[in-house]
Structure 1
Amino acid sequence: MPELVAPAGWPRQVRPPGAPGWEHTAVAWLLDICPPEFRSYPVLRRHDVVLARFAVLHVEACQAAVLRGLSEARGVLRDVADLDAVEAAVETWQTEAARLLGERRAVGLVEEALRGKRFVARL
């Protein structure tokens, strides 16, 4: 029986590739990180790899939004919020940027696995 390997950054909610039913856990996780409307599209429910591609693009769009928020925060918010609130908003954007970086890695790994890639243990 081959060793089941989940690489660093693999989402803990998804069983390792090759484990029984791992694709079902992958689909559930992908649907959870995507907008709720994605659940209503039959193609995304029937085609795991298509769902994974949509999820990758969704996370990348979120990353772009965070970068825009960071670049605009101080200029746009200074007229509507005090300095403490603006700095808290910047910190929130930074926290979200870090979270999305990990999520982007995880989504990419799941997409690769759904496309057939298998990971091997490294020494």
Structure 2
Amino acid sequence: MPTYAPPPGWPREVRPPDAPDWEATAASWLLDLCPAEYRRYAGLRRHVVVLARFAVLHVEAQQMACRRGLSQIRADLKDVASLEVVEAAVQTFRLDEARLLATRRSVGLVEDALRGRRYVARL
């Protein structure tokens, strides 16, 4: 009986590579990360590796938007919000940046597994 061991950073919503129905759980999770409209595209649902590539690009676009927001938020809000509110907005961007970094790693791991890459547990 095989032991399925995902690499560190693997999303808990997705079964480990080669486990029964793991690709179905991967597709479901990837669709949850993407815009709702992606569910309408049969090609993305049929070809999970293509969906994974779309998800990687979508998460990377979110990361770029977050970095842009972080770089501009103080100037954008200085005339309309108190310093306390501006700093709270900065903190929100920083938290989202950390979340997106972890998400990008997870999406990349799923994409790699869909492309056939497997990880070996090290002792």
TM-score (structure 2 length as normaliser)? 0.97
1:58-104 C-alpha deviation (Å, 9 max, x unpaired): 00000000000000010111112111111000000000000000000
Supply the distance in 2 between the matched residues of 1:24 and 1:43 (Cα, whole angstroms).
14
> 5+ unaligned residues in a row in structure 1: which ranges?
none
Following superposition, the deviation at residue 3 of structure 1 comes to: 2.6
The CA distance in 2 between the partners of 1:11 and 1:90, in whole Å, is: 27
Task: Quote the Cα distance in structure 2 between the aligned partners of 1:45 and 1:25.
Answer: 12
Give the corresponding residue for 1:82.
Answer: 82
Instruction: Indicate the residue corresponding to 2:51 in structure 1.
Output: 51
1:41 is the counterpart of 2:22 = no
1:101-120 matches, cutoff 5 A: 101-120=101-120
Task: Say what the alpha-carbon RMSD is for the aligned residues.
Answer: 0.8
User: Is 2:27 the partner of 1:27?
Assistant: yes
Query: What amino acid maps onto 1:98 in structure 2?
Result: A
| % same residue | 66
The alignment partner of 1:76 has SS state of: helix
Aligned length: 123
Amino acid at match of 1:94: R
Give distance in 2, aligned partners of 1:109 and 1:99.
Answer: 16
Provide the secondary structure at the position in 2 that maps to 1:49.
helix
Partner SS state of residue 66, structure 2: helix
The 4+ residue runs of structure 1 with deviation greater than 6 A are none
The 1-side partners of 2:78 and 2:51 are apart by: 39
Q: Deviations over 1:17-56 (max 9, x none)?
A: 0100000000000000111111111111111000000000
Specify the code of the residue in structure 2 equivalent to 1:95. Answer: L
Which structure 2 residue ranges, 5 or more long, are not aligned?
Answer: none
TM-score for both structures, normalised by structure 1 = 0.97
